[in-house]
Structure 1
Amino acid sequence: HDEIAGLLGIAAGTSKTQLHRARRLLRKALRS
């Protein structure tokens, strides 16, 4: 749980950039 909390904290710090990148990767993964 601590690891998840840390990851969430990092994601929250750079939410916009991380979300944008994650969505892009997800789209690519779903396509292939």
Structure 2
Amino acid sequence: HKEVAEMLGISVGTSKSQLFYAKKRLRESISKILGQ
């Protein structure tokens, strides 16, 4: 996370929370697709 945060110029906490939300959205999208 440290490398990502440095590349994007953000804090490590921000990169972790954004990764968490990105994974959550991805899971929701996949479950919608599979649920059709």
Q: Scaled by the length of structure 1, what TM-score is found?
A: 0.58
Q: CA RMSD in A?
A: 1.6
* Higher relative contact order (Cα pairs below 8 Å, separated by 6+ residues): 2
Regions of 4+ moved over 6 Å: none
Structure 1 residues 1-32: Cα deviation after superposition (integer angstroms, max 9, x where no partner)? xxxxxxx615xx22101000000000000000
Identity of aligned residues (%): 35
Structure having the larger proportion of residues in helix? 1
Q: Scaled by the length of structure 2, what TM-score is found?
A: 0.53
Larger-Rg structure = 2
Could you tell me which residue of structure 2 aligns to residue 21 of structure 1?
Answer: 21
